[in-house]
Structure 1
């Protein structure tokens, strides 16, 4: 348990950041789920639109420190190739 004023403040900040990061991660997962559903439906226009809306959210996750840069790059690349494969 935190005893000093500094450690108490850090504990409060940690709780706040945890909530913010949890909400941000949930939002990213929602966008990813929309892309997955569009891909599963086979509608390329919807999948492309969903991917375009998901990409800024993923990038924002990187800048805010919620996700690793390479993880997001890998996810975007794989989703883009799957969306592209629908057309063929």
Structure 2
């Protein structure tokens, strides 16, 4: 348990930051799942539209440091190649 006022405040901040970051990670995963679902349905137009929105989400989350920039690039690359191979 935190003994000083500073430690108590840091604990509160950590909890709030964790909630926010968890929400962003969830949004990231959901966006990727939507693209994968469109690819599985063999709907190329829908997959491309969803992919454009997903790229925006991935870049935003990577810029905030929630995920590493290389992970973001890897996901975008894999999704892009999956759409091209449809």
Give your verdict on TM over 0.5. yes
TM-score, length-scaled by structure 2 = 0.97
Q: Does 1:60 align with 2:60?
A: yes
Q: Name the structure 1 match of 2:75.
A: 75
Q: Distance in 2 between matches of 1:38 and 1:10?
A: 42
The superposition leaves residues 24-47 of structure 1 with CA deviations (integer Å, 9 ceiling, x where unpaired) of 111111111100000000111011
Unaligned 5+ runs, structure 1: none
How many residue pairs were aligned? 86
Q: Distance in 2 between matches of 1:12 and 1:54?
A: 31
Q: Name the structure 1 match of 2:7.
A: 7
Unaligned 5+ runs, structure 2: none
Q: What SS class does the counterpart of residue 67 from structure 2 fall into?
A: coil
Q: What SS class does the counterpart of residue 80 from structure 1 fall into?
A: helix
**Any runs of at least 4 consecutive aligned residues in structure 1 with deviations exceeding 4 A, and if so which?**
none
Q: Name the structure 1 match of 2:17.
A: 17
